Amino acid sequence: MKNIASKLPSEQYEKNFSDLHPPFTQNSAVAEANRCLYCYDSPCMKACPTHIDISTFIKKISTGNLLGSAKTIYESNWVPLTCAKACPVDVLCEGACVYNAKGEKAIEIGRLQRYAIENYFDKGMPALFHKAPKNGKSVGIVGSGPAGLACSAELALLGYEVTIYEANKIPGGLNTWGIAPYKMRREDSLKEVELVKSFGVDLKTEVMIGKTVKVDDLLKKHDAIFLGVGLGESPQLSISGEELSGVVGALDFIEKVKTENWENVHVGKKVAVIGAGNTSIDAATEAKRLGAEQVFIIYRRSDVEMSAYEFEYELAKKDGIVFHFLTSPKRIIGNSFVEGIECLKMKLGEPDIHGRRKPVPILRSEFTIPVDMIIKAIGQETKSSFLSSIPKLTLDDEGCVIVDRTTFQTANPKIFAGGDCINGGKEVVNAAYDGKHAAHGIDKFLSKK
């Protein structure tokens, strides 16, 4: 990269990446828990994809029963620390809290959940669950992200021999690699991995299924397989100049921010992020926090159509990110290094088959934004070539594995799947739900219940 943003003093990086929502103290947690009305129909619980018994865990915090509170949470969700820190609570549990209808501040469910779970880890993960005796059956789990961890924990407690196969050196999937550090640090994700391992789950890292180990060998070795593989690379922009130095994928960039010393992560002085989803906002705000002077988000539709959540949009604006809506990249300019991006103004035309109005180019509306780094954040593709190599698996038009939505069984009866590889990329909490319920699908299949 030619122009690199000036280095910040190390304490400034710490400040820039500090917790967005600092933890509760004991007094503030109890005070917040005491605000809860313990609604009999708990709309918050219905809005949580894993249906955590929210009013019960909050009640236990108010009475000082913090381990009981953690147990209530774990009964529904095996990655609750990640969910407490990274879930879009405004549109899930907290968005459904009855206080919203009264025009008052919703109960801070995410922060209360974090309080109970951090206390559980601080106490050294005391045993909360009874483990069933070994039943002599084994299950192989592909991927150690939230779906794989949830499935593994549930199966291990049911008495199965469980082995996780993880391609990466460090486990945890997107929880470890893909969540902005001001939302969650890598160490938090690794604590959730350690808890699952404490149930006797064997974790093998740096194992590439299809390369290091064949799928057929896994099918012979285990009584069932669960696929909890995430998504793959960002698709190409397919415009000229994409090969220039300074063009990077959003996930690669975010991974570097999560794994390297912040002062060693390369960031330009002027950065353009292409796309306006939640990952784009993460990449843009991280670039700004690393010291980029100007960061632009370029999106071909308007703010109404963008997929980023409202609170992410607000965060980006607060960080000084400049949005270019109704703007499409036409070509990347530069000679070896990125020097600018030529864009085209768009207008919204007729709705497409999904009802979203299609962006239509405005002729001769080209303009150039001088930038020295471009981050591509236009979504991620499914790992369809890997998935289609697995015997008898069926994929939909988007490359997602087709499963029975109750048992999570695929067209190959020995193989189950959940998380991003069946939904094309949703929240961590959806993957946690899939993994847990797939475990029960596997148990039903193997015990012929």
Residue appearing with tokens 């299809």: 210
d(CA 93, CA 104): 15
What minimum distance in Å lies between the beta carbon of 235 and ligand SF4? 39
Q: Beta strand pairing status for 161-165 and 202-204?
A: parallel
Q: What are phi and psi of 357, to 5 degrees?
A: -70, 135
Residue 114 vs 330, nearer CB to ligand SF4: 114
Residue 132 identity (one-letter amino acid) = A
What minimum distance in Å lies between the beta carbon of 377 and ligand SF4? 33
C-beta neighbour count of 433 within 10 angstroms: 23
Helix (H) or strand (E) holding 272: strand 270-274
Residue 87 vs 308, nearer CB to ligand SF4: 87
E strand segments, 158-229? 161-165, 202-204, 224-227
Residue 44 vs 149, nearer CB to ligand SF4: 44
What minimum distance in Å lies between the beta carbon of 35 and ligand SF4? 7
Residue 55 vs 285, nearer CB to ligand SF4: 55
Residue 65 identity (one-letter amino acid) = N
Helix (H) or strand (E) holding 323: strand 322-324
d(CA 140, CA 162): 6
d(CA 303, CA 301): 7
Residue 53 vs 202, nearer CB to ligand SF4: 53
What minimum distance in Å lies between the beta carbon of 255 and ligand SF4? 34
Residue 68, helix vs strand vs coil: helix
What minimum distance in Å lies between the beta carbon of 40 and ligand SF4? 9
Residue 29 vs 158, nearer CB to ligand SF4: 29
Residue 185, helix vs strand vs coil: coil
Residue 93 vs 271, nearer CB to ligand SF4: 93
d(CA 337, CA 183): 32
Helix (H) or strand (E) holding 274: strand 270-274
Tokens of 411: 């067209």
Give CA separation, 365 vs 216, 301, 361, 368, in Å. 55, 15, 8, 10
Residue 39 vs 322, nearer CB to ligand SF4: 39
Q: Which residues bind ligand SF4 (CB under 6 A)?
A: 36-39, 42-44, 54-55, 97-99, 107, 109
What minimum distance in Å lies between the beta carbon of 98 and ligand SF4? 5
Residue 99 vs 311, nearer CB to ligand SF4: 99
Q: Where are the alpha helices (DSSP H) in 319-427?
A: 384-388, 420-423
What minimum distance in Å lies between the beta carbon of 45 and ligand SF4? 7
What minimum distance in Å lies between the beta carbon of 257 and ligand SF4? 33
Rounded to the nearest 10 degrees, the angle between the axes of helix 26-35 and helix 54-62 is: 130
Residue 296 bridge partners (DSSP): 272, 322
What minimum distance in Å lies between the beta carbon of 192 and ligand SF4? 23
Residue 113 vs 175, nearer CB to ligand SF4: 113
What minimum distance in Å lies between the beta carbon of 43 and ligand SF4? 5
